[in-house]
Amino acid sequence: MTSLRWIGLIAMKDLRQEFRSGGRVIAMLAFAVLACFLFSFSLDRSRVDGLDVAAGLLWLTVLFSSIAGAGRTFDAEEDDGAFRHLLLAPVSRHAIYLGKTVANLVLVCLVAALAAAALTIFFGIAEPGSAAHHASVLFPGAIGLAAAGTFFGLISRHSTLGDSLLPVLTLPVLAPLISLGATASSRVFLGRPWAEIGGSVRLLWAIAIGLVVVGSLLFRYITEE
């Protein structure tokens, strides 16, 4: 069986499990909507224009929601010992890591889509920019978030600090991604042409691919027993 097929099977297994239990998906989506809701009335709207802050708030919402979700990536499998059995299966560690990253990527994309819609509604943004451009900016960002979240999620799972360790490890790695993504999204919200956005998106892809490659290469060292 090829690695690609294993990646697909592991991702499908994780997603089926997530959507059957529903807990983590609902928690991440609810967190995203509530965060946007709180942002909308914690800012003085008479002085702050929604268009000016929407991009930053969108990326922060997706970031925190992803981190909250990533911390639970391995919970179910670790609790009942299934993850140890998965490691014993004749599957490469790269495939396990990439499969779990793909599953997390689907969840992060859902969160990003919902957060973008929620911010547009709560901030009353009449013309939020091209949906295709938003997706082109958010997708590589979501890959980076899923890659780092999956990797550090396993480390924090074994830490007595639990979820409090995850932001300390992920935020320094993800800060350049968030900064570039927020800059690009801000230009999309303002309806700027693709020529002004493309450079940031290329850098976003470079960082996202870098995170996937590094995570994939180092994953076997954090799964050795």
Q: Are 56 and 182 in contact (CB under 8 A)?
A: yes
| Residue (117 or 222) nearer to another protein, CB | 222
- Nearest approach in angstroms of CB 74 to another protein is 13
Amino acid code (one letter) for 3 = S
SS3 222: helix
Q: Is 88 one of the binding residues for another protein (CB under 8 A)? A: no
Report the alpha-carbon distance of residue 20 to residue 99 in Å, rounded. 18
Total residues at interface with another protein (CB under 8 A): 19
Please give the Cα distance from 58 to 82 (Å, whole number): 35
Q: Is 222 in the site for another protein (CB under 8 A)?
A: yes
Q: What is the CA radius of gyration of the chain?
A: 18
The binder of another protein chosen from 25, 51, 135, 214 (CB under 8 A): 214
Stretch 127-166 residues interacting with another protein (CB under 8 A): 155, 158-161, 165
Return d(Cα 74, Cα 11) in angstroms, integer. Answer: 13
> Taking the complex as a whole, how short is the minimal distance between the CB of residue 87 and another protein, in angstroms?
13
The DSSP symbol for 49 reads -
- Using CB under 8 A as the criterion, what x/- string covers residues 178-197 for binding another protein? -x------------------
- 213 lines the binding site for another protein (CB under 8 A): no
Distance CA 14, CA 181 (A): 27
Does 168 participate in binding another protein (rule CB under 8 A)?
A: yes
Least Å distance, CB 126 to another protein, is 31
The first and second tokens of residue 131, run together, are: 């949906």
Buried b (16+ CB within 10 A) or exposed e, 149-161: bbbbbbebbeeee
Backbone torsions φ then ψ of 169, nearest 5 degrees: -85, -40
178 secondary structure, DSSP code: H
Cβ 199 to another protein shortest distance, Å: 13
Q: Which of 27, 53, 171, 209 forms a contact with another protein (CB under 8 A)?
A: 171
Compare residues 3 and 164 and give the one whose CB is closer to another protein: 164
Q: Which of 169, 190, 192, 205 binds another protein (CB under 8 A)?
A: 169
Q: Which of residues 34-53 bind another protein (CB under 8 A)?
A: none
Instruction: Give the footprint of another protein on this chain (CB under 8 A).
Output: 155, 158-161, 165, 168-169, 171-173, 175-176, 179, 214, 218, 221-222, 224
